[in-house]
Amino acid sequence: MTTDARPPFPPFTRETAAQKVRQAEDGWNSRDPEKVALAYSVDSRWRNRAEFIDGREEIVAFLTRKWRRELEYRLIKELWAFDGNRIAVRFAYESHDDSGNWFRSYGNENWEFDDDGLMRKRYACINDLPIKESERLYHWPLGRRPDDHPSLSDLGL
């Protein structure tokens, strides 16, 4: 086990898989690329839409670009399935561009973890839906989603 270890560790139970999903959501809602990158193995490989990313340095660069474009970013993730060292999630996030155009982005991710609980593979498929500001569903202050905020399923997403 390395000093970078991130519990819970595989193999996952429903409880530990859900915990891993919430930790990922909380990290991404921090919008701190350096902090988020620490949840991934140093040799982590991603496919995010049509972009391929290798290692923590590229993860930090990608997330820095992302959160410069996607302003007031708020994300909800939900456990879909799990088995052994793999977790599948669905998610939706809301953000706007620098012209004030709002979007709700929907997606699915497949994750694979190493023995230290670090994500070594991430495959993301994402679709963007333009929405009006009045159609927004995520209104919590920037940062961690409050525990009492509705989930994706509760919101009908």
- What pLDDT digit, counting tens, does each position of 109-133 carry? 999 999 999 999 999 999 999 999 9
Once rounded to an integer, what is the mean pLDDT over residues 4-24? 97
- Whole-angstrom distance, CA of residue 21 vs CA of residue 76: 10
Given this model, what pLDDT does residue 1 score? Answer: 65
Percent of the chain with pLDDT over 70: 99
- Ordered by where they begin, the domains of the chain are 14-135 (3.10.450.50)
Asked if residue 103 has pLDDT above 70, the reply is: yes
85: Cβ contacts below 8 Å, ≥ 6 apart: 10, 11, 12, 112, 113, 114, 115
